[in-house]
Amino acid sequence: MINPTLLQRRSDELAEVGRFCFSRGWLPATSGNLSARLDDRHVAITVSGRHKGELDASGIMVVDLDGRVLSEGLRPSAETELHLMLYRRDPSIGAVLHTHSVHATVLSRLVGDTLELADYEVMKAWPGVATHATRLALPVFANDQEIGRLAGRVEQALRADPSLPGYLIAGHGLYTWGASVMDARRHIEAFEFLLECETLTRRMTG
């Protein structure tokens, strides 16, 4: 059984991070999806097609780690498997957030299959990073409506580098995660900041 108090708490956290990201323009037009772990077999995730800036408990549902729906009559995001794959492979992950900003969309269409980030102080926001003298090759995957196939490609990249803090899907947005909703939100803030920095740098240096 799912603890209803825990579900309510996680739903509130997801609604709050949804409002915050929407206010920044990172979740336009019902795009994106947000989830949080409930226990070792279940996660709370946004219902398909809901507006992420106006979530309430009715916009959050429960699925198990194999994708079985526990909230009768509701359909989870089409991208649910991209969340579940992460929870299955890493028990320390407590939340997965997928945003959809202008900067992530544009950069991910322009940079090829990797975005290089280096020497930014804000990279210390990621777990295990203690200095700005850091280099990250952020993977950019081609967009794909076959989510199982896309999840397979992401999993392969994570096997090659388990410390990866996120990835981009071209023309689509950012996936990142953390031990808690607040941790994952901090990672979004750091990534969106870096994507803005990279965009601005490229515009200034031609």
Nearer to a copy of itself, 70 or 122 (CB): 122
Query: Is the separation of the CB atoms in 18 and 35 below 8 Å?
Result: no
Q: Which of residues 95-154 bind a copy of itself (CB under 8 A)?
A: 100, 102-103, 105-106, 109-110, 119-122, 125, 130-133, 143, 145
Q: Look up residue 74 and give its two tokens.
A: 């509701």
The amino acid occupying position 106 is V
Nearest to 13 by CA among 146, 183, 138: 183
CB of 168 to a copy of itself, least distance (A): 12
When binding is defined by CB under 8 A, the residue of 59, 173, 177, 184 that contacts a copy of itself is 173
3-state SS record for 138-206: EEEECCCCCHHHHHHHHHHHHHHCCCCCEEEECCCEEEEEECCHHHHHHHHHHHHHHHHHHHHHHHHHC
What is the residue-wise DSSP string for 42-92? Answer: EEEEEBTT--TTS--GGGEEEEETT--B-STT--B-TTHHHHHHHHHH-TT
Q: Tell me which stretch binds a copy of itself (CB under 8 A): 3-11, 67-75, 83-91, 195-203.
A: 195-203
- Residue 36 binds a copy of itself, judged by CB under 8 A: no
Q: Tell me which stretch binds a copy of itself (CB under 8 A): 29-37, 55-63, 65-73, 156-164.
A: 29-37
Nearer to a copy of itself, 2 or 28 (CB): 28
- Residue 48 binds a copy of itself, judged by CB under 8 A: no
Contacts of 73 (CB under 8 A, 6+ apart): none
d(CA 169, CA 160): 18
CB of 70 to a copy of itself, least distance (A): 26
Nearer to a copy of itself, 84 or 190 (CB): 190
CB of 160 to a copy of itself, least distance (A): 25
d(CA 141, CA 40): 28
Nearer to a copy of itself, 62 or 138 (CB): 138
Binding site for a copy of itself (CB under 8 A): 24-25, 28-31, 51, 100, 102-103, 105-106, 109-110, 119-122, 125, 130-133, 143, 145, 169, 171-173, 182, 186-187, 189-190, 192-193, 196-197, 199-206
